[in-house]
Structure 1
Amino acid sequence: MSKIPKIECIKILRQLGTEGSKPLLIQGSDGEYFIKRSLSNQMPKAEIINEVICNGMLKVWQIVQPDVAQLKINKSLIDEFELSGGKLDRIYENIDYRTELFFASKRVENTVDFAHFPNRIPKKELNTFASPTDLLKIGCFDFWVGNKDRKPENPNTIISTNSDGKFLFIPIDHARAFADFSNYMEITKARLNYSGAKNILSSNIVKSIGKLELKGNTKILEDNILECMAQTNKCLDDIFETIPSEWGFSKKAKNHLKAILGDEDRNKQIASRFLNYL
């Protein structure tokens, strides 16, 4: 895997909301539209490291993820945006734009927020989804990496369509994975564990997917999740290699995460946790 590409912002379009990381919608020098997401001023840059790690891992799980980039924003664009009447949060005031590179993900077109989607899927509409069980896999993935921020009231998941017009579940915003610890050496298996009520598997739509798609045959999905974990562990070094060295992700931190994610007993327990929600 190659390092995260660098692109230059040529235009700021707007700030997307006032909560969380106060993301920006921008146009890049390649003509594509990106969303500037997490901003991390501490070392290691845990929030954006988590974004990159989870983005790469989910791709191994064959869960659709937007491409990511390092984003350069010139201060002149900030000034131009504000002079034209654009509103920016105060977090954008005290930044050295000469040296700062932001984390950004490519905008996914034609999306619906998961929170605005129906609570159940009728049987006749199940085939409108490319892979309905991806939502169950996303929930198990979050248990695996200790992401406590994706839950029914804050799903951090969008729904888009593939080239065949089928719906896709796309999880976004992974900054608070690994129990939101900035010091990776403080992460333990116990600290990654959390209540199932705070997981997206608690969403009502999960029961209808389980009933209609699995039809009582859960072993196939369990085995698939375990295989995803195994393949991801084989790819971790390559995923870690994409993270810029200046972000402060140490060799000790990498090995520590690899030991936790490679725990086979823990992985077997997590691979079946979706059963509690069917």
Structure 2
Amino acid sequence: MTGDNPILVTCSDMSDWVCKHGRLYPSILFSEVIGSTFAQLWDLKTPQISFVNVLTEHLPSEYLNVVQPAFFHKPCFGSLYIEDSQVVDKTLLPSFRNSNFRTKIANKTDLLKIALFDIWLGNEDRHHGNSNLLLDQTLSNEYYFNVFDHGAIFNSNALVHGIQLISENESIICSDLAQVLFRKGKTLTKIVDNIVKDFYLCTLKCEDQLSSILVDIPIQWGLNIQNLELLIRSNLFTENWKNDCENHFRALIQANI
């Protein structure tokens, strides 16, 4: 990670991985792990992740002027590079306005599910100006939204102060993309109700799997895993917080779509 910019490396498995190092803030890498693994438990599409040991002699030459070899003495957070994908940004919006293009999106409703996922995790960095979404176009007639970059969950890593609802401007619901893909009506109401119903089941899965996820966090990151687990359990899984998330989700839908 050069600032917030990752590096692309080819690993021993001959796959390309997008790697971030924890030079200053290993807590951000921790958030990346939690966000990605929880997304999988929510059945959201997200790139495969791994802990990657980057040998300093294998650092791509183009990064040597912006990173130091010492940054890579600890395992990096790695996200599998999806070659046939595009970052969803304003340049893609005209394509989404095309009905033929929209019909190729196989998991369209996941955009709203991702929005609730972000509310629950306090993700402040997926919004109208920065989607942190990939559109996987590996299959010619089936495109899939993939979530990535979860470094700003827990209200930008401030869980020690409790979890807070993200603002309207910090939600993907309040974007042109959401308005293009969804319209008010009975269909939207049913979609929202199904997402909310699934929400409570998904959070239970995350609660059940949390301890096993934390076992794999690299010791070299120097994090107090026991304390982090207590913070997550006491903030994310309370009935009050989940009810607040549902109400905020429904209110944002009502106000913006």
With the length of structure 1 as denominator, give the TM-score of the two structures: 0.79
Counterpart in 1 of 2:76? 102
- Superposed, 1:148-163 pairs within 5 Å as 148-161=124-137
Is 1:152–1:203's contact at 8 Å kept on the other side of the alignment?
Answer: yes
Deviates more, 1:211-220 or 1:46-55: 211-220
Q: Measured at CA, do residues 163 and 123 of structure 1 come closer, stay the same or move farther in structure 2, by a change above 3 Å?
A: closer
Q: Measured at CA, do residues 177 and 168 of structure 1 come closer, stay the same or move farther in structure 2, by a change above 3 Å?
A: same
1:215, 1:175 → 2: CA distance? 30
Deviations 1:173-232 (CA, angstroms, capped at 9, x unpaired): 1112111236x4x2313xx32211121111112123332893432322221222222222
Q: Which amino acid aligns with 1:102?
A: C
Is 1:33–1:106's contact at 8 Å kept on the other side of the alignment?
Answer: yes
- Superposed, 1:264-275 pairs within 5 Å as 264-272=239-247, 273=249, 274-275=252-253
2:242, 2:114 → 1: CA distance? 14
In the alignment, which of 86, 103, 110 is matched to residue 134 of structure 1? 110
| 1:265 shift after superposition | 2.4
Counterpart in 1 of 2:13? 30
2:243, 2:68 → 1: CA distance? 47
Q: Secondary structure at the match of 1:220?
A: helix
Q: Measured at CA, do residues 126 and 260 of structure 1 come closer, stay the same or move farther in structure 2, by a change above 3 Å?
A: same
| 1:27 shift after superposition | 0.5
Is 2:165–2:245's contact at 8 Å kept on the other side of the alignment?
Answer: no
Percent of paired sites with the same residue: 19
Is 2:39–2:45's contact at 8 Å kept on the other side of the alignment?
Answer: yes
Counterpart in 2 of 1:216? 189
Deviates more, 1:212-221 or 1:170-179: 212-221
Counterpart in 1 of 2:169? 197
Counterpart in 1 of 2:145? 169
2:65, 2:146 → 1: CA distance? 27
2:68, 2:50 → 1: CA distance? 22
Q: Measured at CA, do residues 208 and 76 of structure 1 come closer, stay the same or move farther in structure 2, by a change above 3 Å?
A: closer
Unaligned 5+ runs, structure 2: none
In the alignment, which of 61, 65, 69 is matched to residue 50 of structure 2? 69
1:250, 1:233 → 2: CA distance? 15
2:15, 2:52 → 1: CA distance? 12
State the number of aligned residues: 248
Counterpart in 2 of 1:230? 204
